[in-house]
Amino acid sequence: MQNAVNIPSGTSSTPDLPTPEPTTAAAAVQRWPGTAYPLGATYDGAGTNFSLFSEVATRVELCLVADDGTERRIELDEVDGYCWHAYLLGIEPGQKYGFRVYGPFDPAAGHRCDPTKLLLDPYGKAFHGTFDAGHPSLFSTPPELAATATADDLTGLDSLGHTMLSVVINPYFDWQNDRAPRRPYNETIIYEAHVKGMTAAHPDVPEELRGTYAGLAHPAIIDHLKSLGVTAIELMPVHQFLQDFVLREQGLRNYWGYNTFGYLAPHDEYTARRDQPSSAVTEFKAMVRAFHAEGIEVILDVVYNHTAEGNHLGPTLNFRGIDNAAYYRLAEDNPALYKDYTGTGNSLNGRHPHTLQLIMDSLRYWVTEMHVDGFRFDLASTLARELHDVDRLSAFFDLVQQDPIVSQVKLIAEPWDVGEGGYQVGNFPPLWTEWNGKYRDTMRDYWRGEPATLGEFASRLTGSSDLYGTTGRRPSASINFVTAHDGFPLADLVSYNEKHNMANGEDNRDGESHNRSWNCGVEGPTDDPEILALRARQQRNILTTLLLSQGTPMIAHGDEFGRTQGGNNNVYCQDSPISWMDWSLAQSNSDLLDFTRRVIALRTEHPVFRRRRFFKGRPIRWGEPEVDIAWLTPAGEEMTAADWDSGFGKSLAVFLNGDGIAEPDLRGRKVTDDTFLICFNAHYDEIDYTMPPQNYGAEWIGELDTSDAVGASTVTVGAGGRLTVAARSVVVLRRQERVPQG
């Protein structure tokens, strides 16, 4: 029997395809006109409203798919503002569905409609099943013809049975007494983590929960985060993403998940009950509820810059077949090809109102329905591209600014993409915080001994006012980090000079080659006790600098106890022990774990390390409270211009006056704190530091010393006395008492 799908002219049906029920089989479903908004599938207790946007479509069918894989097609003949819609009485949660979109297939004009493809809902809140990786039915034309294809080149193969399916969900969830922590930025410590990487090898997480949202919410994980003192967990992508077909053929997987096709759905592979459609939704909500109960915020790493459909050679999963020219940035001189500001094959079209609506609807949904506390925007500069150049006042940022929901959560930009002019650190609007790439580079260079000015180091340490101080932002706008998912973890940063990515199958060509790392004398593993001691000290130095800098610190998961990737700096495809947390290190590297807890506690207890406002940096008048910060040479003298510009200088001290904070807390109370002196020595030899004179303080006591395995310090030094600071180490001193003036 001939396939009931209408095949575009120039193609023929294929007799081996399953024969779907004809459209008349939908007569048993009571259909009302429904509404154009909200888009997607919305269950109200009696039935479900379906709505799909397509400006280019000439006809749209909703396909209800039964458990046996057969479909019922219902034509959506109500159209308002290019949204095709209907309300179906009695359609309940768990119903699997997709769409078939009829319209022009003309890649040269930017159109790729193909009704043989069962398309996923861009607004789908849950997905079920798997993709038949690389199956020709997922592609409208053979890849070798994709750039020049016409309707005559269509395969005519139906993708039903070879693609995932969208699922209607029940939106109800018992949130109990859930409340968003709403922690101020200056009190925030972010922990970047991966759902599976955190839990896949944890011995106390039940095996059936490992790699899942439920596993991440297990008390063993939450207790670890609480013992550290972190206040927010930033999850690598959990929007529904695709396992790359090419990687699967190589026996690898898309571990990171920067390959989204469902912006309103939690990734289904991270649910403990994957056999049950939409279980990921309730499990994700329960995870958020558990974190909130312990005062921990949940921030999502989101990928609104590109989709999983890739370049012109990629599969037709949803956006491409629904309205290719609306959802994607196409090349002006050849609309069969895609603009690629992301290095992934395509760029989402933030200039189109319905694409912007999808992004904003997605953000609001995750805040209002899933209760998340903020977002980190991957390659955020792509979202700012209106025409060609990055425009910080693009429509997307205007929409965020005026949105009463999205504007009130944490908004973190990765302020770069791979296109021309894409590096935009410091240029995002006032609501936004940014991953500070300049902080990362400066701190790596300082501790590995690269020639650089101390002025750059001091600027990054104090919140990067040169980047954020002139745009109405505060030190917290700088998301300070030294390591993240992309690149070496901290233990590898001090153990490898070169990347070692052979396991990725690309002959070590992938990943960044300029890592600003230093192996401390030997590449990779070693038994040399001196090198091991130096590496451990360097990790403590970096953690101390990070956590005592002004701004918002972010720690990469596992750095607190020395997680290693064996020198691989691009584990995007390594869903394996190479990238997972090795929890045995929490015991074998317990000193580093205890040290990390100690430094976080120091930051948490003392507001002088997490000021809400930038330092004033007034000229020094010794002993006066207006002096909030002072910079000193190891000789105890105020830094001069020559000292600041020294390319070889590696040592200095910073005086942080707890009496000079001069800012109220969020309840309007004046903030005062202890006064600290931090001695930084990145030199390869020990250095004697002269303590400040009496008007700074009569006596200084050791609070932290990175030359000790757990940071312990028992030193006491009087005014004008000398303190020997070990090579490549940091000493933090607290003023015992202030000398009365006059």
List the catalytic residues.
378, 414
**Cα separation values, 28 from 23, 47, 73, 89, Å:** 11, 14, 11, 10
User: 497 and 523 in contact (C-beta within 8 Å)?
Assistant: yes
In this structure, what token pair is assigned to residue 16? 């081996």
Asked if residues 706 and 668 have their Cβ atoms less than 8 Å apart, the reply is no
On whether the CB atoms of residues 37 and 51 are closer than 8 A, the answer is yes
Of the candidates 589, 598, 711, which has an alpha carbon nearest to the alpha carbon of residue 228?
Answer: 598
**Is the backbone peptide bond immediately before 553 cis, with ω within 30 degrees of 0?**
no
Q: Are 501 and 565 in contact (CB under 8 A)?
A: no
Three-state secondary structure string covering 344-411: CCCCECCCCHHHHHHHHHHHHHHHHCCCCCEEEECCHHHHHECCCCECCCCHHHHHHHHCCCHHHCEE
Quick one: angle between helices 437-448 and 529-547, nearest 10? Answer: 150
Radius of gyration of the CA atoms of the chain, in A: 28
- d(CA 319, CA 348) in angstroms, rounded, equals 10
First to last CA, the chain: 103
Residue 379 · residue 414 · CB < 8 Å: yes
The Cα–Cα gap between 318 and 307 comes to: 10
**Diameter over CA atoms, the chain:** 103
Residue 249 phi/psi, 5-degree rounding, is -65, -25
